[in-house]
Amino acid sequence: DAGVIQSPRHEVTEMGQEVTLRCKPISGHDYLFWYRQTMMRGLELLIYFNNNVPIDDSGMPEDRFSAKMPNASFSTLKIQPSEPRDSAVYFCASSHRGEQYFGPGTRLTVT
């Protein structure tokens, strides 16, 4: 398996634009997580899915953030509209029975 795949690896956008981050989890994993990492706040769990169903989105900072998992092999995290304070590295991770496998991350810069 190629591991967790995320795209794009880098995204630079202007404030107010819509941003969509993509994730392909490891085949057979039943959990998918979205995290955000910044120097100030560390690693934050935004939302997680179990068998494609969103279970806990209490970490999503605002209504500007939304996440979907239409099938077992694909998930998106959308920010609309984006703001400079959304600048961070966003990680997707998938897991089965507790052991998490992280993607390489998407570095988002909002100017």
d(CA 71, CA 93): 15
With respect to other proteins, which residue has the nearer C-beta, 64 or 101?
A: 101
Residue carrying the six token digits 């630079």: 12
d(CA 109, CA 63): 19
DSSP one-letter code for 25: P
Nearest distance from C-beta of residue 101 to other proteins, angstroms: 7
Q: Which pairs count as long-range contacts for 51-59, CB under 8 Å and 24+ apart, including other chains?
A: none
Applying CB under 8 A, does 40 fall inside the site for other proteins? no
**Residue from 48, 77, 82, 88 that binds other proteins (CB under 8 A)?**
48
Applying CB under 8 A, does 74 fall inside the site for other proteins? no
Applying CB under 8 A, does 104 fall inside the site for other proteins? yes
Specify whether the CB–CB gap between 47 and 59 falls below 8 A.
Answer: yes
Applying CB under 8 A, does 17 fall inside the site for other proteins? no
Nearest distance from C-beta of residue 97 to other proteins, angstroms: 6
Which residues form the interface with other proteins (CB under 8 A)?
4, 31, 42-43, 45, 48, 50, 56, 91, 93, 95, 97-105
